Amino acid sequence: MSEKNLNFEKALKRLKQISEEIVKDETSLEKSQELLEESEALIEFCREKISELHLLGENESESVDHAAD
């Protein structure tokens, strides 16, 4: 999945798919390793998005505080 088309919801959906695939007994060790690497990248993507939203919320809160002064 290219990062260009990726959003938070798609990343979470893909993480769920990965977790379901890994728990299957048919998944080879090699494929599990690939899925693990993909999931690590997706988790990092989600962390960055959450951080961006957190910072955006802080900035909006500061703007509202200043407007009330």
For 26, the 3-state DSSP assignment is coil
Rounded to an integer, the average pLDDT of 2-7 is 79
Question: Between residues 11 and 62, which one has the greater pLDDT?
Answer: 11
Predicted confidence at residue 25, as pLDDT, reads 76
Count of structural domains, the chain = 1
Alpha-carbon distances, residue 36 vs 30, 32, 33, 54, 62 (angstroms): 10, 6, 5, 27, 39
How far is it, in rounded angstroms, from Cα 15 to Cα 7? 12
User: pTM value?
Assistant: 0.75
* Confidence at 47, pLDDT banded by 50, 70, 90: very high
pLDDT digits (tens, 9 = 90+) for 12-40: 999 999 999 988 878 888 999 999 999 99
**Per-residue pLDDT at 1 exceeds 80:** no
By residue range, what is the domain housing residue 58?
3-68
